[in-house]
Structure 1
Amino acid sequence: MKLPKRGQKRQAEKMLESSAKRFKPLEVGQNVRVPVADVDRAKTDARNILGVILDKQDDFYKVGTKHGRFDQLFARNQPVSENFMDGCEVPNIVAKSV
């Protein structure tokens, strides 16, 4: 029973290492793309919302948009190469969902 557990642990470590190489840490002020769930949008709505990193907590990030700040923390998987907005453009309103 210990052999499969050890293999699974090794595989998890390998996946985390691969993820860390693919997705570099984000900086405060960097622009990101936040995906919108299919159930939360109409067919003609945008699939992503552009946001900006406001704060970093461990390996998760607080994101704000031009419509407000999100309650939840996000992972570092969708950076944007261009800067569309700045952290000072985010109103002090809490957005409940994406």
Structure 2
Amino acid sequence: KDHYKVLELNCDASDDEIRSSFIRLALKWHPDKFKEEDSATSRFQEINEAYQVLSDPIARQEYDKKRMRRIYEHNTELLNEYKELILTCNGLGVKHYLW
């Protein structure tokens, strides 16, 4: 789960923005407002979990490192998957038309 998305924040959000978003979403999804719905309880738990991580500077730093590593690994996989196509297009002089 992306804690920033859960709290509807950008990854460069300030501490005040994190706290403000948490309060707004916690009030919106509090289980007492949705007594019959389990989805509200699970959403509320996600919001709490995201806030616990992002409000703690050390936990947030670790989370951000892992998040960036996942993004880098995903991008590397995509590049490797299309490497042959990229190299072929560059070798044929197609790069002027594609890029």
The two structures have a TM-score, normalised by structure 1, of 0.24
Larger-gyration structure (1/2): 2
The two structures have a TM-score, normalised by structure 2, of 0.24
Give the helix-richer structure, 1 or 2.
2
